[in-house]
Structures are given as C-alpha cells and as structure tokens.
Structure 1
Amino acid sequence: MAIFSRNTESAQAAVTKAEATVTDWEGKAAAARAEALRLDQESGQAILADESAAERIALNVQTWKLKANAYDRAAADTRLKLLRAQREVLEAEARDEDKEAAALRKKGEAHSAKVDGLKRQLQELDDCDWERAYIFDSVNGSIRGQHLGRAGQLDQDAELHAVRAAVIRYFLATGKIPHDYYEVNNVLGLSFRGFGRSIHDQDNIPQSVRDAQAAGLSFVE
C-alpha cells in the first residue's frame, strides 16, 4: 500500500545517509576510546622504561580521549539530523497518501457523474426509476445494504488513503498508534466515521508507522 514519490525517496535517501554517518562517527569514537585505553594501560611500563616519556604518553592519551569526545559530539549532532530526516520521510509519505486520496475522489466523482447521466437516459427510456441492486443475507434473505458500485469503491479507497495519512500525522503528534478513529479525530480535528468500525481493519496503519514505533522513534516536542 505504500506510495513513494520523488520527495519520499529523497527523504529516505537522507535517512540512509545520516544513518551511515552516525555509524561512521560512532565507530571512530569507539576506536579512539580503545586506543586511549590501550595507551593508558601500557603507560606504566613505558614510563618505567623511560621516565622522560611520561609527559608525551599522557598527552597522547589525552589526545585520543579528546578525539573520542569530538566523534561522540559529531555522532550526537548527526542523530538529530537523522531524526529530522526520519520525520521528513513520514511527512512526505502522508502527503503522498493525501494526493492518492484526492486522485481517487476525483475519479469517483467523474464516474458518478457518468453513471448519473446514463441513469437519467435509462429512466427516460424505460419510463421508471432505477436503483442499484440490494445485497441480501445468504442465510435469512434480509437486506444487508446496497451495492456500492465503482464510484462507491473509489470513495472507500480514497478514505483508506486519507486515514493512512491521518494515522501518520497522529503518530508524529503523539508518538502513538491510535486505538480508534475518535482519537485521530480529536487530535487532528478530523471527522472520520468511527461507529462500528475499527481503525485497525484493512491496511489503515502504514508499515512505516509500525516500524517507527518499534524503533522507539518519537517526534513529540
């Protein structure tokens, strides 16, 4: 169900680059600390062998510790950039979902207009009203509803994408996956119909949101 535009792909590329940079800085920091520890542990024998080397050895150890601290700070700064990039990926994905929802709604409206035109012609031809067929319960024969038709299905598909966009924005705002439609409506000021429906049906929760929650990401300021 994921939709990826160029903006989404660009944001994901920034995440990948930031992740690699963090790993690089963390590796350099670990190596520098290990070198400082090695020199410190070997300093005793080296100083006993040559007392004049004490100042040089101490300076060398301190230099490696300073390097490790500098790499740690660089890693921390890059983690902040990584978090911003991860947020931008989710924001771009939400925009893509919005665009897909809008495109499907427009297609549904165009199809409805075409059906309405043909329906008028049919009613004029047959001199009576025409409606979509009802859906009957296979057990007791009671009416369960009316066929949606293609336009109805397009509207449902459009809402699915709109819900996915809302779930992403809800996660960005709260750091949580919503339990129901009412939570999304309350936080984002929307009006999805929630009665008798679970937001966890179908594919309403994007995998990107599940992955972000599993990774412990939080964008709540």
Structure 2
Amino acid sequence: MHKCLLVDDLPEGLSLMSALLTDVFPDLEQVMASSVHVAMEKIRRHQFRLALIDLELGDGNGADLIAWLAEQQPECIPIVGTIFDDDEHLMRALKAGAQGYVLKDQPPELISLQLHGIRDGLLPLSPAIARRLIQHFQKAVSVPGTEAGLSERERQVLGLLAKGLRLVDIAQALEISHHTVGDHVKSIYRKLNISSRAEAALEARRLGLVD
C-alpha cells in the first residue's frame, strides 16, 4: 500500500488534512508527524508517494524538510498545507521543491477539490496562490531571455513534466534514458530560472505546451 506523510504541529491541522486525504485517497496509508525531527525519522523508515507538510513547525521550517525529502525520496510528491499566503513562504517552499500549495483556511470542500487534482496529474494550488504565481511570472516575462533557448526535446520534456509525469515515465515516453531526462530538466530549470515542478507547470502553460 502506498503511504502519505502528514506533517503539522497542531493536532487540529493533522485531523483536518487526515480527514480530507481519507476522502480523496482512501487507499493511502497515512503516517503522521508533529515536528521536523519526527518527520525525518518517518522518512528514513518509510517510502512515501505523497507528503502534505505545514511550513511553520515547532522545531524547524517545512520548506527545509521538503528540500531534504526531495533529496531522499525524489519520487514523492510534496504538497504544502498551511495558512501562510505571503510571497516569502510561497517562493521559499516552491524553490525547496513543493509541487503544490494549499491554504488550510479555505472551506474543506475547496481543499478536497484541489487535492483531487493530484489524481489527474494537476498541481494543487489554492486560487489565491495561483494568482500570486501568475503575477510573479508575468513580471518575469519582461526580463529578456527568461524563456529563450529551449530545444525541441526540452520543450517535450517540459510539457510532460507539467502534466505530472515522473522522470522515469518521461524517459519511457520519449525513449531516452532516465539520466538524460534529468539532464534536460536541469537545463530547463536553468534556462527558465525556475527550481520546482510548480514553476515548471506554470511556464509550460505560458509557453502553450499544455492546456
């Protein structure tokens, strides 16, 4: 059975997200942690398919945990679940590798709807967060060369990455090695000045590579 990691230092936060995830992903086994330290121990002991992580934790920052998780288990999908909607928290989390950003103070039915998108390869983003990201990249468009120089293969990789495919799936679809895909992703991130799947998905949409 696939597992999901839930990290929140407040019991009510864990309860809320646990209930919503049970509704959306009834087949996922949930593993809970109330601190960065406990979460790291869980990550060492288990392989996770999905992680829902708060940002301000008692013994550290969730963004740092996301970055560490991405190194330890690159196939895991880390999602932020928090009340913080400011640019500082948002951009730090995305640069750390978060692949979604959900605000916990929304109505539960909206959170559930956003989490449902994961099944279809969509990045769960609260509307307020999506608007912030769009504004961020609209500003970036005016910077010369921010999207220049992508090869045709890099455009293919970016499009598949934005659809939620794993690196191994992209390699199989394009009939190239997993390591070659990884090199293309690094090149794409460097050329577009981005550092996460969430940013890559928005860039792909802006470039017309996905609907």
TM-score by length of 1: 0.21
Which one has the bigger strand percentage?
2
- Larger RCO (CA within 8 A; separation ≥ 6): 1
Higher radius of gyration, 1 or 2: 1
Which one has the bigger helix percentage?
1
TM-score by length of 2: 0.22
